[in-house]
A and B are shown apart, each in its own frame.
Chain A
Amino acid sequence: MKVSVVSRSGREVVKGGIQLSDDAKVADLQEAIHAKTKKYYPARQRLTLPVQPGKSGKPVVLNQKASLSDYCEKGSGSLTVVFKDLGPQVYYSTLFFWEYVGPLFIYPIFYYLPVYKYFGYEGERVIHPVQTYAMYYFCFHYFKRIMETFFVHRFSHATSPVSNVFRNCAYYWTFGAYIAYYCNHPLYTPVSDLQMKIGFGIGIVCQIANFYCHILLRNLRSPTGSGGYQIPCGFLFNIVTCANYTTEIYQWLGFNIATQTVAGYVFLAVAAAIMTNWALGKHSRLRKLFDGKDGRPKYPRRWVILPPFL
């Protein structure tokens, strides 16, 4: 069959189109486009069906594993796809590694090295036990995240635009430094021993729970990464859609109860807002997909992210 590849403005991206066998898959088309255009490797391509004039709504994105014939206009042996360049891409694992490795090194810099001299604080620094535990806790958290990135998570879209590396690293590294500055400050005021224990206790329990949530999510996806959505179930997922975000938020709350810095709470608020945004999207996607029709199960009533609030 003949596939013509056009840009969103109508210009032909591959002159003369591409000839493929009738049983070719979308992935074969992507390889062919890459071969013809050299710089657009498949991860950079976003292929959609042209939107019918007069119709609104989002264009249909071609599924990499599907057959091209699934998208053909009925009967005809030809297909037009709209191409968008997503820009240079990096693997999600690359992106996550760089965003998490920053805090892992930045926090100990404030703990071990005499940084505060340069802020005008001369002299000996007394280190409270809570500051030591906080450093281990914080660093373990980001170490855990890196390990999960390489050994636990199964990613749906394999790549992310390169610009996200800068944006995400700025977010994590700046907040890491912001929190580390206050937690390790020579004039730091610790909370009571009991409060510290309660805080770290909550944090550790939630980190373990969070890890278990990630294992459960991993097992929803097959190793070949065939994608697709499943209804998450088991453990906390039975009552809240994004239990992984829930445990992450409560884990940071534990850290903040133990260390009590405004910087930590600001980070908690921003992180919670970002995760809530994601959770609302995921929850509504799952509810739309699992609508109970055509033999599909109906998505059960659940909290979105933070019982008892949302």
Chain B
Amino acid sequence: GAAMLRGGTAVLRRAASGGGHGQGSAQPLEPSLLRFLVCPLSKRPLRYEEATNELINEELGIAYPIIDGIPNMIPEAARTTQKKPPAEGSKEP
């Protein structure tokens, strides 16, 4: 039979604190996904930025948003990031 869909609208909220299961309105990224996810363009690893709830490709300077716990890995949806000065955070090789 048809699945009964609750008319709940997902509220967009940035995850303030990481960890835990994303069943509430704050939906962080499923941690196991980080094992598999890469940038669809360069196939290179991504960095999860908790503050903005995005997956960052440092090399290309783009960020993929995570909405309702679902990472949007379509290149057209990514935004370009400003190059940050090296003092901010550590650069991983």
A binds B: no
B interface vs A, CB < 8 Å?
none
- A: which residues have CB within 8 A of B? none
